[in-house]
Structure 1
C-alpha cells in the first residue's frame, strides 16, 4: 500500500492552504488503498539551499538536508497543496523541491492549487520543475477558486470532492505502479 505525503506549500502565517491541506487529508484518510501524512513546509523550516554539492549528487552534508531527504524518501507519492503567488508557486516549495533529488525520482504527484483563478498558473510552472525531478504528475488536478470556494472560511464547491477523488485515484494507481520502477532501477544500479 503506497504511503503518500500531502505537502502544504505555503509558509505564510494564517494561509488559506492550511484549511485546504486538512480538507485533502480528511478526504484522503477515508481511503483504504493508501496511507497519508501531512507535511507543513512552515514546520519543516528549511533554510535556503546551503549544500556545497549539487543535490543530484546526493552528497548531503547538512543535518537538515539529510533529515529532509529521509522524510521525502519514505513516501511513494505526494499531493502538493500550493497557492499561486505572482503567476507561480511559493519560494518555500521551490527550495524544498530543489534541496534533494534522488528521493523524488520515479514517484507520482497530484496537485491541489488555490488562488484568484484557481492557482492554475502555479501548477503550470510547477509541472516543469516536477518533470526535472523525475516526478510523474497525474493529469487530474483540483483548482480551488478564491471567489467560489472561499468566503469567510474555506468551503469547497460540491464538485471539488469528486475532482479530488479522481486525482487521488490516479495518484494511488501511479504511486503503486512506480514502486516497481524504483525497484527495477535499484536492481540495475546494484
Structure 2
C-alpha cells in the first residue's frame, strides 16, 4: 500500500475574475515543497457539472450525468483535499456546494483543510464547509489558512494587488499546521479504509 497521501487542491470558484488562482498556486507550491504528500490542482472550471439534477445522491442511486460521474471519479482518486474558497454572502460559492453534492461516497472518510480569502478570511465559508464535510463523513482539520483584513487587501485586486509572497510570513505557520494535520488524518483514514477493502 502506498503510504504517501494523494491530495487535491480544489479551486472553489469559477468566476472569470476570480482571485482564487493566486492563493491556489501559492498553497500548491507550499504543499509540493513537502515530501509527505503528492499534490495536484483540481479546477472546478474543468468540471462543468449541472446543478445537482440527479434522482438522489450517489450514496443511494448511481449518477446518470456523465460530468457528475467524471467528477466522482476525479474525487475518488484522492486521499485528502485542500479547498481554496472565497466567501459569498457568509457562505461558500454555489459551484463548490454543487461539487460537494455531486459526489458522496468519494468524499467519505477523507480529510480536508482550507485556504480562505476575503475581508474575514472566509471564516464563515470555511465553517460552513466543515458542516457540509461532517454530513459527507469527512474529517476537517482544526487548522486552516485565512487570508484576511490587511493581508487580503495587500494582495487582492480590490487593494494593492501585490504578490502573495509579501504576506506569506503571516500565513506559513498556519499552512504548516494545516498540512501537518491533513497528512496525519490522511494516513489514518487511508489505513482505516484499507482495512474495510
TM-score range, shorter chain: over 0.9
Structure-2 separation of matches of 1:41 and 1:54: 19
For residue 14 of structure 2, give the secondary structure of its aligned residue in structure 1: coil
- Which stretch of structure 1 is more off in the superposition, 56-65 or 103-112? 56-65
Q: TM-score, normalised on structure 1?
A: 0.93
- In the alignment, structure 1 residue 135 sits paired with structure 2 residue 144: no
Q: Which runs of 5+ in 2 are unaligned?
A: none
> What is the alpha-carbon root mean square deviation over aligned residues?
1.3
- Correspondence for 2:190: 179
- CA distance in structure 2 between the aligned counterparts of 1:53 and 1:88, rounded to whole angstroms: 23
Given candidates 93, 109, 114, the residue that maps to 1:111 is: 114
Bigger fraction of residues in strand: 1
> Normalising to structure 2: TM-score of the pair?
0.90
Equivalent in the alignment of 2:20: 17
1:152 aligns with 2:155: no
Asked if the contact 1:117/1:145 (under 8 Å) is kept, the reply is yes
Distance 1:152 1:78 in 2: 27
Give runs of ≥4 in structure 1 deviating > 4 Å: none
**Residues of 1 paired with 2:132 and 2:148: CA distance?**
23
> Hey, what does 1:93 align to over in structure 2?
96
Return the offset for 1:52.
Answer: 2.1
* CA deviations over 1:37-94 (Å, ceiling 9, x no partner): 0011122121111222333215122211111111000000000010011001000000
Match of 2:124 in 1: 121
SS at match of 2:15: coil
CA distance in 2, matches of 1:128, 1:72: 19
Q: Contact (CA 8 Å) 1:84, 1:113: kept in 2 or not?
A: yes
* 1:25 counterpart SS class: helix
- Which ranges in structure 1 are unaligned for 5 or more consecutive residues? none
